[in-house]
């Protein structure tokens, strides 16, 4: 049972490692879009 939990935690960690760059890229993209819109509106 412990091995199964360890495997699940390892899988979750692997997923987090894969998702982190994607989440960062999306966040940076949103920041860029908001910044661009702000400049277009003269804010």
1-22 pLDDT, tens digit per residue, is 567 888 888 878 888 888 999 9
| Domain ranges, ordered by start, for the chain | 19-43
pLDDT, tens digit, for every residue of 24-42?
999 999 999 999 999 999 9
pLDDT score at 5: 84
Chain position carrying tokens 């935690």: 9
Q: What is the pLDDT of residue 1?
A: 53
The pLDDT, as a whole number, for residue 28 is: 97
Structure tokens at 28: 């940076």
Q: How far apart are CA 3 and CA 9, in angstroms?
A: 10
Residues 6+ apart with CB under 8 A from 6: none
> Other CB atoms closer than 10 Å to residue 21's CB: what's the count?
9
Provide the whole-model pTM.
0.54
Q: What is the rounded CA–CA span in Å between residue 2 and residue 13?
A: 16
């Amino acid at each position: 049972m412990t091995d199964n939990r360890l495997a699940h935690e390892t899988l979750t960690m692997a997923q987090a490692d894969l998702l982190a760059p994607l989440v960062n890229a999306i966040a940076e993209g949103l920041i860029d879009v908001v910044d661009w819109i702000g400049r277009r509106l003269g804010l």
